[in-house]
Structure 1
Amino acid sequence: MSSALPSLRQLRYLIAVAEKLNFTQAAESCFVTQSTLSAGVKELESLLGVLLVERERHSVMMTPVGSEVVARARQLISEAEDLAEWARNAEQPMSGLLKLGVIPTIAPFLLPSVLPEVRNRYPDLKVALREDLTRNLLSRLAAGQIDFALIALPYDTGHLQVQTLFDEELLLIAPAGREADMPRDIGKLDPEALLLLEEGHCLRGHTLDGCRLDEPRVTGMEATSLFTLAQMVEGGLGMALLPDMTLRSGLLGHMNLVAHRFSEPRPRRTIALVARSSNARQECFARLAELIAGQAAQSRSGIPDGTHV
């Protein structure tokens, strides 16, 4: 049996074919000729002794073995990139480009205080941001497209490295003047009056879990962002739960809303920084986690009951 191993180049070619299902487009994405890419895939098939790609005149399809090889190839390339990144940053861990993913219910409320402090402490570290839903960020993280992700728990993070940063409460908001309709006991909250973010936002699940509710019937009134959710509340369509950082940020200050804190047990979420288990930037991960937690602690003075926001 041959002791030769697949090259990263061959694996990249196969991944491109799986993504494009077109050899011409796959070659263009790899900046090589089609003949070069085709030869690389055939070499890989010969090396592994299995058919990875079904080629028809007008179609391309991955075989079951090919799909599994692609999944493993993505992991191998991600770990190889982590190795190279570790070597580059061994001497200067807080330098270079850091690709950070952040979910939409955190990014506009926490980053304005975090990013200036990052620039102040680590001027040689350049942060490139990617705002997206949790499931998409974790997929990008696994594929090596981002380095870390700032998300909210609970969420299934699999085998990722997780550093919890802080817990925060979810507060009830309603239009000003509706304070009498806001229950102190979360168990007495009318589920029919509760507005939610659309499917895909983890805050939707956190809200339902905190209120101990099942998925509600579809009403056609779901928000695409926290700003839209707040506008729907202000318009008298119902009430909603918003994270404490949303209210502390002041970004809803122009709205005629009132915030209300529940009695215990209060609904909460946990903010966490996650990375691949093979993450090569351990010191950067630890320092960034400490910085974010510290900045959040400085601004976490709490929102008193009945605060107009």
Structure 2
Amino acid sequence: MSDESGWHVRRLRRALLARGAALVRCLDLAQCGVATHASRHGLVLPGFGRELPDAVIVRGIATGSFEQVTQRLTLLHALAALGVPVYNEARAIERSVDKAMTSLLLRAAGIASPPAWSTECPAQAQRIVLREAAAGHALVLKPLFGSQGKGLQLVGQVDGTFVPLPDLAPYGGLAYLQRFVPPMSAPGFDWRVLVIGGRAVAAMRRVSAHWVHNFAQGARCEAAEVTPALAQPAVRAAQALGLDYAGVDLIPTPDGPQVLEVNGVAAWQGLQRVTGFDIAQAIVDDLIDRKVAAAVGRRSA
């Protein structure tokens, strides 16, 4: 399932065919729908007719209205309820897309992460910014459902100057604020750790002179060792959100790495450039060997 057919889809298609898939289709969830009396399952999946796929990999979900995104997730929920292995499942994607929910689940699991706040009240948000600025902290204002480092803004005490909270209309009328972690080196960096099937399988450093370290924003990717200090929080974060595979972003601090974000529809093009094995094949192998095998076992039991 992807809203665009690009590099990631081509790699996944090749990996699925290498594992013996008879047919690989790329569907946009926006082109799928519900027709309750048209088939036994009630779903409309172009190219499948009355049948269902053997498994689904979620590579991309297009942005849209609340109603449109809700239907797309409903389709994924329905596929899982019908016994189709979905990788990652809708509930896990919902947890990771919503940064406030991610922060809550990380907190509940005892995983180190920068303090975060989420509020619809502009006055309350401004009080948080003022209080944090008085303590010498900057905050990162993020779109609740944003990705690839887009729309991030520093507020509070920024390089000795107070930066007030901007109008929240471009952020959907909601302030999600996360305490900014100053870089410990120049240039600064963070880590992206890829977790597949409960294992941290690859890592990279994303290095940038800018405080935003996303590959999509021009950061330089460097290979990094998957140390226990990176692997443990990354795996625990993926497990806390119920993700089959995840890109976990960690930032260095004097007290050790802290989890910034957890990506449930993670891109890995930058990571692949500095990784010696085929990441798409590792994802497909985990889907087939673990998740599909478990579904087959349940059906035959």
Normalising by the smaller structure, the TM-score range is under 0.3
Structure of greater Rg: 1
What is the TM-score with the length of structure 1 in the denominator?
A: 0.23
Greater relative contact order structure (CA < 8 Å, 6+ sep): 1
TM-score of the superposition, structure 2-length normalised? 0.24
More helix by share: 1
